[in-house]
Amino acid sequence: MKILVTGGAGYIGSHTCMALKKAGHEPIVLDSLVKGHAWAVKYGPFVKADIADEQAVRRVCEQYKPEALIHFAAFIEVGESVAEPEKYMENNFHKAKRLFDTVCDCGVSRVVFSSTAAVYGVPETEGPIAEEHPLVPINPYGEAKLLTENYLRELETKGLHSVALRYFNAAGAAPIEEEIGEAHSPETHLVPNVILAGLGLKDEVRLFGSDYPTRDGTAVRDYIHVLDLADAHVKALDYLMKDGASTALNLGTGNGATVLEVLEAVQRALGSSVPHSSYPRRAGDPPFLLADATRAHEVLGWSPRHTLDDIVTSALAWHRHIL
């Protein structure tokens, strides 16, 4: 089955293309390469174009006749979204709307959407968050993702069905022989930043907040291996192809790690210490952010298989490979 994958040259998109290929599908990647990498496209045809380019999207649909869309293409830096909200609203919401309208007009009626836990805002609980948690995003990145989820629901009147997958903290990399991994610029995620400091590629890693009400004073996050995320996208696609109803699902492990536990995991993998410094909390960073992924298990039959050590080991191998 041919699947249009927007943002397929990016981190999670490229890993999902790998999973699609292994499942017997042909991913058709459409990516502007503003943030993605041409070297990450290796599992099917590639079209360099913007998702808002209606003519380009129509040409892809006419040439390849995809049966579904998996939409990743988006800017992902929360801090930047606060500084440049219009940029994020245009790219992540308005362009997505134009994309969905175009593919819907071309006869594509199934969409898997890369959403985020940022749609929840500040959690009301220290425990795992279920999908019923209030949706109160606190930054333009989360707002744009939530607006996109809502627009997909509106398109149900035109026969389009969708699954929005709300990720928590994606990390890790594919087996090194695949030669794909995380390569953001700038890099804002904790796991790769700790690794880069450990490999001497940056002076230190900054750890924000040491006075949270957690087991060691640092914030707890739910780290999910990118291979588990990719698997969830394939399962969501299968679900939709069997006429599954539109839904939104959390993707996480439900088992959080503190910032210091991530640091310690990287130090174990390296066999050496990582230079780091502590800084005050960042505004809006909650003490806990954990996923209740029960519904993803019930609806998709999906469960994460990888541990934090798996994440760190695979990410370290990737970063050593690209040194």
Ranges of CATH 3.90.25.10 domains, the chain: 176-221+254-321
* CATH for the stretch 176-221+254-321: 3.90.25.10
pLDDT the model gives residue 320: 96
Structure token pair of residue 272: 């050496």
Given the candidates 3.40.50.300, 3.30.110.30, 3.40.50.1950, 3.40.50.720, the CATH classification of the domain at 2-171+223-251 is 3.40.50.720
Q: What is the DSSP string of 184-199?
A: -SS---HHHHHHHHHT
Distance CA 20, CA 189 (A): 25
pLDDT the model gives residue 137: 96
**How many Cβ atoms sit within 10 Å of the Cβ of residue 177?**
6
First to last CA, the chain: 36
pLDDT the model gives residue 282: 85
Local mean pLDDT, 10-residue blocks, the chain (323 residues): 98 98 98 97 98 98 98 94 96 98 98 97 93 96 97 97 97 97 93 97 96 96 98 98 98 97 98 97 89 98 98 98 90
Question: The whole model's pTM is what?
Answer: 0.97
Which among 88, 141, 223, 239 is annotated as catalytic?
Answer: 141
**What does each C-alpha distance from 296 to 64, 124, 248, 292 come to in angstroms?**
30, 21, 9, 9
pLDDT the model gives residue 285: 86
Whether 141 is catalytic: yes
pLDDT the model gives residue 20: 98
- 193 in Cβ contact with 202 (< 8 Å): yes
Q: Residue type at 198?
A: G
- 311 in Cβ contact with 242 (< 8 Å): no
Ranges of CATH 3.40.50.720 domains, the chain: 2-171+223-251
